[in-house]
């Protein structure tokens, strides 16, 4: 998915944080909020560190009508931030049952974070 804080107006060189998702077969992808697929540049030195469930800061290097290609600019991360971003992605879907579950889990995470 989904990247944080990005609308449909994306430009070459823009940096965004994306959630790495499992694509078809062994591939990895992400998605823009407008539905376009985000592909990762396989020639990037950080490509082999990417795995589903991680977040990565990346720079837009190519824009097409149905997809964009990004280059990771720093090592990927996993953990609570990636989980929260994935849940935010699900909470924006039209499937209300999944959205309710995602929002409930986000609420629990926020409660647990406030107790720490």
Pair type for strands 37-40 and 28-31: antiparallel
- Report yes or no: 80 and 54 within 8 Å, Cβ to Cβ: no
Encode the chain (116 residues) as per-residue pLDDT tens digits.
344 444 458 899 999 988 899 999 989 999 887 888 999 999 999 999 999 989 999 999 999 999 999 999 999 988 888 888 888 878 877 788 888 998 999 999 999 999 87
pLDDT for 70 equals: 97
Q: In degrees, to the nearest 5, what angle opens at C-alpha 58 toward C-alphas 5 and 102?
A: 45
pLDDT for 1 equals: 39
Q: In degrees, to the nearest 5, what angle opens at C-alpha 44 toward C-alphas 40 and 47?
A: 60
């Amino acid at each position: 998915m989904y990247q944080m804080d990005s609308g449909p107006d994306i430009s070459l060189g823009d940096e965004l944080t994306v959630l790495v998702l499992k694509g078809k077969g062994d591939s990895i992808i992400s998605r823009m909020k407008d539905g376009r697929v985000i592909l990762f540049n396989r020639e990037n030195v950080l490509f082999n560190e990417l795995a589903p469930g991680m977040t990565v800061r990346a720079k837009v290097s190519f824009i097409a009508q149905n997809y964009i290609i990004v280059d990771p600019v720093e090592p990927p991360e996993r953990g609570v931030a990636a989980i929260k971003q994935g849940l935010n992605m699900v909470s924006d879907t039209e499937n209300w049952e999944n959205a309710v579950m995602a929002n409930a889990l986000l609420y629990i995470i926020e409660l647990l974070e406030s107790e720490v």
